[in-house]
Structure 1
Amino acid sequence: MGLITGVIAFFYHLPQIYKWIFKPYYIISILMSTAFLIIRKCPGLCENLNTEREDGNPCDFDWREVEILMFLSAIVMMKNRRAITLEQHAGNLFMFSKVANVILFFRLDIRLGILYFALITAFVMTCKQPLYMGPEYIKYFSDKTIDAELNQDSRVTWIVEFYANWSSECQSFASVFANLSLKYNCTGLRFGKIDAGRYDEVAKRYQVSTSPLARQLPSLVLFQSGREVMRRPMVDSKRRAVSWTFSENVIREFNLNELYQASKQMKKGRAEKGEEQKPSQPGGGSEDPQSELDITEESKKDK
């Protein structure tokens, strides 16, 4: 039954998979991750390769190559245990596959190794992983707007993500954070983001280190009445982030279900109070005229 469900889910999401995979970054990454396998098994190419097999067949893997590929599989499985999105799984697979390909090509022929390493370097410098551009209810702050927005209404709870474009963890968490905003955004609970790499002064003011060694990006901070209530990951005495997995556990850790229900009850209570005090007011609903998230002033393309 589980297998049938998986197959049905695969075909149901097949259009989305096609849309996701047919991008230059993923197409080239797949080709470069499987380059050694293609060359070793491709008729017309493999016959000219060196081999350490006892039977002298250049179109099959020798024992050392099999060992490297098995080690690659083990590393990818270990790293993907903490992966929460398809992008994270694919990113881990691509990264370690390229490292294994570099080792395999240098072992096979130093000239092939140098050529492959040069191609990898050019690819990393010119082709970036696509950013999440899907639907979301997120306010993008700048250094001039973040303080005013957080202190504008004491009844609004903000969950703000400090991120940087160069951080792969931030890129992987982008879709998860967007889905959370779609599910939990309401009048009293809102979601925001600020580029800590771009606005370094804001990051320092809110004590978020942008150093890769500190491992504080992304950082999620919960603000109530303009004051910080909690953040993840937490920071130890050495100003280094305590290991924490960014996934759906954000719901549990930040009590999003409770905050959402409390916000809805608060909105309902204000609406009922307004109806009692102003029964003749046309369309007497919520006193808060801004029932939806403000349209972002900064384009998502600035990310």
Structure 2
Amino acid sequence: MAFKSDLKQLIKPYYWVNILLSISYVISKRTSVVCNYLFPDSDCELDSRETEILFFLIIVVMLRTRKTGSVTMVNYLSSSFVYTKVANLILWLYADVRYGLPYGAIVILTALLLPEPSYSGPENIIYFRGPQTLDEELKKKNTTWFVCLYAAWHPACVNFAPIFAELSSSYSLENLKFGKLDIGRYPDGATKFRIQDGPTSRQLPTVLLFKDGQEVMRKPMPDSTGKLQKFLFSKDNMKAAFDIDGIYQECKTNMVTKENKKKTEKAD
């Protein structure tokens, strides 16, 4: 089912256009008709420098996608597009500046006209307009909150969005709620919760667990030495790390107890 979902996702223009941009140089160099037209003096083989760039690209993509916790084919592609397009830009510039500059212009234009598709499935999430609105909600007692701090432009946050949405749809209760705060749009939220919001940040996304207004847990979190612990944001890891099933049962029991207490008070 996940594989079929990935294939369906790849039909969207964003993905196939970016795939073409990511393999454009290798295809052009290895297709004789295109190569003879663009590089008439070339033997249509990758030279040692081009091979080194491609090997370096593979290593970077593998390392970066592992750090972002990508677990599906679409997630791997989304996480790697930036690096593959930068590598292709270097290859085109290395081959001929007249090809590299138009390629760079096409990449920029594509980014403006074809942003990465956002998740549009079922969810039960409250989107906070700044940390002040979040604080107002946290002041309400007897409520447990899962809050995701994210940036809309960050690939790892985009990959995590459907997972967090699915969890919110499955586990939301009157006293168990899910919220999101875009710290890219509201940077004071990053300051308040001590989150680095730069493009190389390893703290995006960050999920915080609040009980009765107090933060009791977050992922990823630093260890005793202050070093940030790696966390892969998959559905199973989220459920295990936060014991979401246990919290759900606890909140559900509290709801039933509260309802029974109200009924008893009315009866008296």
Q: Same fold (TM over 0.5)?
A: yes
Q: Paired residue for 1:159, among 146, 149, 158?
A: 146
AA at the equivalent of 2:206: S
Distance change in 2, residues 1:120/1:224 (3 Å):
same
Higher relative contact order (CA closer than 8 Å, sequence separation 6+): 2
Q: Is the 8 A contact 2:219 2:231 kept in 1?
A: no
Cα displacement (A) at 1:63: 5.2
Counterpart for residue 228 of structure 2: 242
Among the aligned pairs, what percent are the same residue?
A: 35
Pairing of 1:1-303 with structure 2 (within 5 A): 9=1, 14=4, 16-48=5-37, 49-50=39-40, 56=43, 58=44, 60-62=45-47, 64-81=49-66, 82-143=69-130, 145-152=133-140, 154-212=141-199, 215-234=202-221, 242-248=228-234, 249-276=237-264, 278=266
Cα displacement (A) at 1:50: 5.0
Structure 2: gaps of 5 or more residues? none
**Counterpart Cα distance in 2 of 1:111 and 1:181:** 50
Cα displacement (A) at 1:202: 4.2
Q: Give 1 or 2: higher helix fraction.
A: 2
CA-atom RMSD, angstroms? 3.2
Q: Number of paired residues?
A: 262
Distance change in 2, residues 1:50/1:105 (3 Å):
farther
Cα displacement (A) at 1:259: 0.7
Q: Is the 8 A contact 1:159 1:190 kept in 2?
A: yes
- Find the residue that maps to 2:33 and give its secondary structure: coil
Structure 1: gaps of 5 or more residues? 1-8, 281-303
- Find the residue that maps to 1:223 and give its secondary structure: strand
Cα displacement (A) at 1:130: 1.8
Cα displacement (A) at 1:214: 5.7
Spell out, residue by residue over 1:244-289, the C-alpha distance to the aligned partner (whole angstroms, 9 max, x if none).
3241322222221211111122223334444555569xxxxxxxxx
Spell out, residue by residue over 1:101-141, the C-alpha distance to the aligned partner (whole angstroms, 9 max, x if none).
22322333232223222322333344322222221111112
